Structure 1
Amino acid sequence: MSSDVSDPGLAESGVRRIEWADRSMPVLRRIREQFAVERPLDGLKIAACMHVTTETANLIRTLQAGGAEVALAASNPLSTQDDTAAALVKEYGAAVFARQGVDRDGYYRHIHQALEIGPDLVLDDGCDLVNTLHTERLDLADGVRAGCESTTTGVIRLHQMARENALRFPMVAVNDTDTKHMFDNRYGTGQSTLDGIVRATNTLLAGKTIVIAGFGYCGRGLAERARGMGGRVVVTEIDPVKALDAVLQGYRVQPMAQAAEDGDIFITVTGNTDVIGAEHFARMKDGAILANSGHFDVEIDVRALADLTVEIRHEVRPQADEYVLADGRRLVLLAEGRLVNLAAAEGHPAAVMDMSFADQALTCEWLVGQDLAPGVYDVPEAIDTEVARLKLGSMDIEIDALTQDQEIYLSSWRRGS
């Protein structure tokens, strides 16, 4: 099968980086070794739309070890690592359609090219591949047995499709596992987002007012780490329960319209659209930094920002564009409003993706033996538990086990206190 990558000559560099990431991914490595022996995915074709990074490369290697043929398109052009893409094609035999920085047309062209494999299983990161199957490639949709989705936004879309009886095959919400919420969203997004902001701006976080839109798992992780770096954290929310949680954890909670006047750095992690818009830009102080680590480039209304602008100074620093407003104020937009942790940094540390991709690999294995109706399904609890167990083992950490008497006590209602 053909591929579309920027420079096959970068493969050697990509291999080095992939192997470096693999050192921090012991759980996935153990699954890959098991897959190589058992071959649970023999004969299956998998189409994936994911971030083309070194960590993803090690997931692709694991699926291949299980016997699968894999075609990969990029879920975010700004996160694509061209050397990783080249290595996957030249050294590991995957079909890859990804070039760093391609435009919207190129992005969807690559998704269509990956789907030409005629997939049995699909792996998606934002639901664009699944959406394409349901809107433009219905000829291939009926051949898909099942798939996995690894983002909050993607899962929201899938549930809506299921409610409208539009979903044509079963999808597993890998995003909703406890291990992914804990490691990927909380610890991964929390660290990698601040890493991207610091790389793009070289700003000091200590003493800054950092406004975080959304207090889900990603928002909590960000707030913890921003406070740990000396930031004064403000949280904006639409959910009363999450807002109350933020208050009780000691954060200031305000509407965005109010926080806009005080913030030095704004970070969106909601999965929704137009979280920061024209009315907020109008209130921001000179030099405010705008970053998104939630969903694509829709959370910050970049078009509204451009409409208010008299001059755009592109690349004042790598991945930092300065928008000069009519009154002379300057607002700095990072990564064009796309995911700052992937565009301006390297995404989650490999040790984080180790668990998320272990969930993905074991869920693919589980799906092979299932006959599910179209709908959205949770990852079996046994898989989530096994991934956590393997991770603890890789860290040489042991935990207690229930005694027989304790198991009886927990499972019986007849025994009193």
Structure 2
Amino acid sequence: MVAAVPTPKYEVKDLSLASMGQKRIEWAAREMPVIKQIRERFAAEKPFAGIRLVACSHITTETANLAITLQAGGVDALLIASNPLSTQDDVAACLVSDYGIPVYAIKGEDNETYHRHVQIALDHKPNIIIDDGSDVVATLIKERQNQLSDIIGTTEETTTGIVRLQAMFNDGVLSFPAMNVNDAETKHFFDNRYGTGQSTLDGIFRATNVLLAGKAVVVAGYGWCGKGVAMRAKGLGANVIVTEINPVRAIEAAMDGFRVMPMIKAAAEGDVFVTLTGNKHVIRAEHFEVMKDGAMVSNAGHFDLEIDLQALGAKATGVKDARNFTQEYSMSNGKSIVVLGEGRLINLAAAEGHPSAVMDMSFANQALACEYLVKNQGNLEAKVHSIPEEIDRNIAALKLKGMGIEIDTLTEDQIEYINSWTVGT
């Protein structure tokens, strides 16, 4: 049983959902052995004593396990949602009532509420920000200059957020260090490829119950997330088409066995579309015009700008809810286009997000990146930093240990060989 704690200020849907949230948080923890090992160490060492932290993240069972781990390390944390449709209301309720962690997140909250929650997060006067898309950091820099001196650093694990942070650095407004969790090997190789690959299709299935076998699935963007979705869709018998702007990735997709073409051509062939680019208006007016009747459009990028819903709405003669998280737009040409999850992250809007086994490594990176910022306070440049290799390898080693897998180590002779230029073949 979790010990009773004072109830903090909060905005969640219903505290009576907490008992279900607790069961689900515990279920997720079963496949998060790395976070468990880190939590045990944090509880003993208290690396965050006296530190205030704000996390703008998807309020899921996995995020809950990260928050509980940081709390064990002594942090004073406050959580807000990073996406209006990604909150799991029972988890939010549990964090408030059972762990005493202030949470401001309700599934389906409007944009006004979301931005108000960002302000509430900054009212917490954080020393560390865990961001998902860099909205909190951007708001801080634009509107809360007086709080910049309080910031030790920030961590970010989305491609969108890293692009924004780099733009802040280029513009000379990033005045504190930012840890690029997104590009850690133990994050993007696994979370992006296997997590996004599985959970995106899970969201599509829950929203539509569609059979992918034999259908043309258009994957926009062949980064690690796109690779994951393309791989899983192919495994289910789909005819996968990839669209890209990067010639190297386009070649890679072609050599992986996928057809590659511009979106304007793919739009006429696709049955199901998934955008994973981190950019805006990847699917837009000219693409909607040539789509098949009943084409399904979804997004797995962080923000809902990848699909130009405003252009679609302007062309539509009517919109109706066909199923949960499924809206059908009737077009003037007699066809219909189906939008899943309101164009937001389909894996979190209609499903539960990534499996906990992969988020175990992603959130281990978040936890250890926060610890790294605290330990190196005052010694890091105000720029975007890669996760140190030793942290990445430590997480991989902890994951292998949790999976019960052993690997080889170099012999002394092998170490000497790879470090010598005098020894030839």
Corresponding residue for residue 294 of structure 2? 287
SS in 1 for 2:337: strand
Cα RMSD for the two superposed structures? 0.9
**What letter matches 2:329 in structure 1?**
Y
Within the candidate set 306, 319, 326, 1:312 is matched to 319
Question: Aligned pair 1:273/2:309, yes or no?
Answer: no
Corresponding residue for residue 397 of structure 1? 405
TM-score, normalised with respect to structure 1: 0.98
Q: What is the CA distance between 1:10 and its match in structure 2?
A: 1.4
Corresponding residue for residue 421 of structure 2? 413
Superposed CA offset, 1:320-353 (max 9, x none) = 0000000110100001100000001100011111
Q: Partners of 2:161 and 2:279 in 1: how far apart?
A: 11
Q: Partners of 2:413 and 2:373 in 1: how far apart?
A: 35
How many correspondences in the alignment? 416
Q: Are the equivalent residues in 2 in contact too, given 1:174–1:359 (CA < 8 A)?
A: yes
Within the candidate set 322, 325, 328, 2:328 is matched to 322
Corresponding residue for residue 155 of structure 2? 148
SS in 2 for 1:364: helix
SS in 1 for 2:312: helix
Corresponding residue for residue 248 of structure 1? 255
Within the candidate set 112, 117, 129, 2:119 is matched to 112
Q: What is the CA distance between 1:147 and its match in structure 2?
A: 1.2
Q: What is the CA distance between 1:57 and its match in structure 2?
A: 0.4
Question: Aligned pair 1:348/2:350, yes or no?
Answer: no
Within the candidate set 70, 73, 97, 1:66 is matched to 73
Corresponding residue for residue 162 of structure 1? 169
Q: Partners of 1:141 and 1:329 in 2: how far apart?
A: 52
Question: Aligned pair 1:129/2:136, yes or no?
Answer: yes
Q: Partners of 1:289 and 1:404 in 2: how far apart?
A: 57
Corresponding residue for residue 50 of structure 1? 57
Q: Partners of 1:64 and 1:273 in 2: how far apart?
A: 36
**What letter matches 2:288 in structure 1?**
F
Q: Partners of 2:403 and 2:126 in 1: how far apart?
A: 36
SS in 2 for 1:372: coil
Within the candidate set 375, 385, 396, 2:383 is matched to 375
TM-score, normalised with respect to structure 2: 0.97
Superposed CA offset, 1:86-141 (max 9, x none) = 11111011111111111111001111112212111110000001111111122222
Corresponding residue for residue 16 of structure 1? 23
Corresponding residue for residue 6 of structure 1? 13
Superposed CA offset, 1:8-63 (max 9, x none) = 12111111111111111111011101110111111111011000111100000000
Query: Identity rate of aligned residues, in percent?
Result: 55
Q: What is the CA distance between 1:222 and its match in structure 2?
A: 0.6
**What letter matches 1:382 in structure 2?**
E
Within the candidate set 43, 46, 60, 1:39 is matched to 46
**What letter matches 2:172 in structure 1?**
N
Q: Partners of 1:343 and 1:164 in 2: how far apart?
A: 33
Which ranges in structure 2 are unaligned for 5 or more consecutive residues? 1-7
Within the candidate set 346, 354, 364, 1:358 is matched to 364
Corresponding residue for residue 269 of structure 2? 262
Q: Partners of 2:134 and 2:294 in 1: how far apart?
A: 35
**What letter matches 1:365 in structure 2?**
E
Superposed CA offset, 1:146-198 (max 9, x none) = 11001001001111111111102110000000111111100000000000001
Q: Partners of 2:75 and 2:412 in 1: how far apart?
A: 41
Q: Partners of 1:15 and 1:55 in 2: how far apart?
A: 12
Question: Aligned pair 1:337/2:343, yes or no?
Answer: yes
Corresponding residue for residue 396 of structure 2? 388
